[in-house]
């Protein structure tokens, strides 16, 4: 006698007869599988979509790859994940489709990083790079290029994994000289390795005060996220390291060289996946559960990044995807120099989002932060306030988001510096205050540039945010 019984798996709701799923069960299983796949793909490719948004934001401001570069003293009008105005920025877009390009740096306090459109690290240059701020010629090699690699003293070769390169240059404003730092940015030279390539010396434009949005916030929770991802994947050479992940996208109908035309069912699944995955990434960023997030056992501060072995979140055995997702939800770009936890680090970042009681920082309340002096940094330090919604510098009528040792705090003396945050200016301490917005959450990055030993060994640490009555 044959067995014609129907068996139902209570954990999935899928029904089988003789081991075969019925049509309704198969559809439910496929819907769930596609949703799970899309959530995973969203989290993995979120940095790529942000990379595309950075490029679009730069283009909208007048930058042109290889032809027009920018410089700016960044402020709240630039909506970019956790940028700051400690130093002037120099955004440069490069297109290696013309062949290898040389970035030539003069000696000086420049910090330069090149990333690809996936926000994968390509090169550190300047102070955190192999030239150590002494100047040099950095050659970016496009993917698949078969020509001879240059060599010689002061020449550094970097293999890029996309033709489009997002180069972020920063110039340290020594003694608070912002204009001098902006001028230093314009000494950066870019030209083809091959002198026969047609080339015009790039123009520099000042973007200080210009409104800019280099984020996908407007569409990170809807279907357009996937359209931007497809456009980006389709435009750039495939990166071999993402071979498996491209397979996840292909299963969702998103494949390089093919039209992206999902049906109504798949559009609904992709939209839902964007909402779920974005919520999950926000939780990881602002409600992290990992025990290694704390730099000090008796403080509420967290490491802004959980891993630091390289610029791509690799440990000896695996890619730390949790750390990667947390970082790229609230920040842009990554490099080994940013993640070192030793005195060779170029800079050091801590994330502050809770007060001394463990409560989230509230824009309607007043707080004080006590910072022991001296702060262990060879260069300077700062505290920058960001909105949780935009993960960008807080926007208020104060038009100010940071307290910096080279500017607002340059005259602070004694054993501690008291900093203030809240909707109302504290009497007598207006210069050491950042305005916050009632009804909105906020967080800070505490940055030290040129960190020294006490920043790592626990002998120095900032206080926690204290709510003021």
Confidence of residue 3 (pLDDT cuts 50, 70, 90): very low
pLDDT at 454 over 50: yes
Q: What are phi and psi of 4, to 5 degrees?
A: -105, 15
CATH number at residue 461: 2.60.120.600
Same domain for 409 and 431, yes or no, is yes
Task: Give the whole-angstrom CA distance, residue 22 versus residue 29.
Answer: 11
pLDDT at 82 over 80: yes
pLDDT at 109 over 80: yes
CB 401 within 8 A of CB 82: no
pLDDT tens digits, residue range 196-207?
999 999 999 999
Tokens of 438: 């009632």
Q: What is the pLDDT of residue 2?
A: 44
pLDDT tens digits, residue range 19-37?
788 877 888 889 999 999 9
Residue with tokens 């005259």: 411
Q: What is the pLDDT of residue 1?
A: 39
Same domain for 302 and 419, yes or no, is yes
**Mean pLDDT calculated for residue range 247-265:** 97
pLDDT tens digits, residue range 398-441?
999 999 999 999 999 999 999 999 999 999 999 999 999 999 99
pLDDT at 456 over 60: yes
Residue 7 lies in a domain: no
Same domain for 72 and 132, yes or no, is yes
Residue 80 lies in a domain: yes
Which structural domain, as residue segments, surrounds residue 246? 26-53+217-284
Task: Give the whole-angstrom CA distance, residue 347 versus residue 384.
Answer: 14
Number of structural domains found in the chain: 3
Confidence of residue 7 (pLDDT cuts 50, 70, 90): low
**Mean pLDDT calculated for residue range 276-294:** 95
pLDDT at 12 over 80: no
Residue 8 lies in a domain: no
Tokens of 150: 């240059």
Pick the more confident residue, 10 or 336: 336
Distances (CA, A) of 404 to 36, 382, 433: 44, 4, 11
Same domain for 437 and 328, yes or no, is yes
Q: What are phi and psi of 387, to 5 degrees?
A: -80, 140
Task: Give the whole-angstrom CA distance, residue 117 versus residue 285.
Answer: 22
pLDDT tens digits, residue range 161-183?
889 999 999 998 888 889 999 99
Pick the more confident residue, 333 or 383: 383
Same domain for 181 and 228, yes or no, is no
Same domain for 138 and 235, yes or no, is no
Tokens of 264: 């109504």
Q: What is the pLDDT of residue 4?
A: 46
Boundary-marking domain end, from 175, 193, 209: 209
Q: What is the pLDDT of residue 8?
A: 53
Boundary-marking domain end, from 269, 284, 299: 284
Pairing of strands 110-116, 121-126: antiparallel
**Mean pLDDT calculated for residue range 274-295:** 96
Cα radius of gyration (the chain): 24
- Count other C-beta atoms under 10 Å from residue 108's C-beta: 16
pLDDT at 255 over 60: yes
pLDDT > 70: what percent of the chain?
A: 95
Q: What is the pLDDT of residue 307?
A: 58
Residue 9 lies in a domain: no
pLDDT at 58 over 50: yes
Secondary structure element (H or E) that encloses residue 179, with its range: helix 178-185
CB 207 within 8 A of CB 71: yes
Secondary structure element (H or E) that encloses residue 129, with its range: none
Confidence of residue 13 (pLDDT cuts 50, 70, 90): confident
Q: DSSP assignment, residue 175?
A: G
pLDDT tens digits, residue range 294-332?
999 999 999 987 656 677 888 888 999 999 999 999 999
Confidence of residue 339 (pLDDT cuts 50, 70, 90): low
Same domain for 226 and 319, yes or no, is no
CATH number at residue 33: 1.10.3360.10
Same domain for 186 and 307, yes or no, is no
Alpha helices in 14-78 (DSSP H): 23-60
Q: What is the pLDDT of residue 18?
A: 75
Same domain for 342 and 444, yes or no, is yes
Residue 419 lies in a domain: yes
CB 374 within 8 A of CB 455: no
Confidence of residue 341 (pLDDT cuts 50, 70, 90): low
Same domain for 129 and 253, yes or no, is no
Boundary-marking domain end, from 265, 284, 303: 284
Which residues does residue 381 pair with via DSSP β-bridges, in sequence order? 448
Same domain for 302 and 437, yes or no, is yes
**Mean pLDDT calculated for residue range 111-120:** 94
Residue 191 lies in a domain: yes
Residue 6 lies in a domain: no
Same domain for 249 and 141, yes or no, is no
pLDDT tens digits, residue range 141-162?
999 899 999 999 999 999 998 8
Residue 79 lies in a domain: yes
* pTM of the complete model: 0.93
Tally the residues of the chain: 469
Q: Work out the angle at residue 301's Cα, subtended by the Cα atoms of residues 375 and 53, and round it to the nearest 5 degrees.
A: 100
Pick the more confident residue, 172 or 443: 443
Q: What is the pLDDT of residue 17?
A: 75
- DSSP string across 181-228: HHHHHTT-EEEESSTTS---PPEEEE-TT--EE-S-TTTTTSTHHHHH
Pairing of strands 402-404, 101-105: unpaired
CATH number at residue 81: 2.60.40.1610
pLDDT at 361 over 70: yes
Secondary structure element (H or E) that encloses residue 277, with its range: helix 264-286
């Amino acid at each position: 006698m044959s067995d014609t019984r129907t068996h139902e798996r209570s954990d999935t709701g899928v029904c089988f007869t003789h081991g075969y799923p019925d049509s309704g069960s198969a559809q439910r299983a496929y819907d769930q599988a596609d949703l799970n796949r899309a959530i995973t793909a969203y989290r993995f490719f979120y940095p790529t979509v942000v990379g595309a948004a950075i490029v679009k934001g730069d283009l909208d401001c007048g930058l042109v790859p290889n032809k027009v570069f920018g410089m700016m003293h960044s402020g709240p009008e630039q909506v970019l994940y956790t940028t700051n105005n400690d130093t002037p920025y120099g955004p440069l877009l490069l297109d290696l489709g013309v062949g290898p390009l040389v970035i030539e740096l003069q000696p000086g306090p420049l910090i330069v990083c090149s990333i690809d459109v996936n926000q994968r690290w390509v090169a550190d240059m300047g102070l955190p790079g192999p030239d150590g701020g002494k100047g040099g010629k950095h050659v970016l090699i496009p993917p698949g290029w078969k020509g001879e690699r240059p060599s010689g003293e002061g020449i550094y070769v970097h293999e890029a994994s996309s033709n489009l390169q997002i180069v972020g240059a920063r110039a340290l404003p020594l003694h608070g000289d912002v204009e001098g730092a902006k001028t230093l940015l314009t000494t950066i030279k870019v030209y083809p390795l091959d002198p026969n390539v047609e080339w015009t010396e790039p123009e520099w434009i000042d973007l200080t005060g210009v409104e800019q949005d280099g984020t996908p916030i407007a569409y990170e929770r809807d279907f357009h996220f996937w359209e931007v991802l497809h456009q980006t994947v389709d435009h750039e050479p495939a990166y071999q390291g993402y071979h498996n992940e491209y397979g996840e996208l292909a299963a969702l109908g998103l494949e390089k060289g093919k039209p992206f035309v999902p049906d109504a069912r798949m559009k609904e699944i992709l939209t839902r996946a964007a909402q779920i995955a974005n919520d999950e990434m926000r939780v990881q960023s602002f409600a992290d559960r990992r025990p290694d997030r704390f730099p000090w056992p008796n403080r509420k501060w967290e490491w802004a990044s959980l891993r630091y072995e390289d610029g791509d979140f690799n440990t000896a055995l695996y890619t730390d995807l949790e750390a990667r997702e947390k970082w790229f939800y609230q920040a842009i770009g990554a490099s080994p120099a940013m993640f070192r936890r030793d005195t060779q680090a170029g800079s050091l970042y801590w994330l502050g989002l809770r007060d001394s009681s463990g409560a989230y920082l509230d824009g309607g309340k007043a707080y004080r932060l006590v910072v022991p002096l001296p702060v262990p940094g060879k260069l300077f330090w700062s505290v920058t306030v960001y909105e949780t919604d935009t993960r960008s510098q807080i926007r208020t009528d104060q038009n100010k988001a940071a307290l910096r040792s080279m500017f607002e705090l340059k005259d602070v003396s004694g054993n501690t510096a008291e900093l203030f945050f809240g909707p109302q200016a504290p009497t007598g301490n207006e210069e050491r205050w950042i305005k916050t917005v009632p009804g909105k959450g906020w967080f800070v990055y505490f940055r030290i540039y040129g960190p020294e030993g006490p920043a790592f060994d626990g002998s120095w640490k900032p206080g926690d945010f204290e709510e003021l009555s």
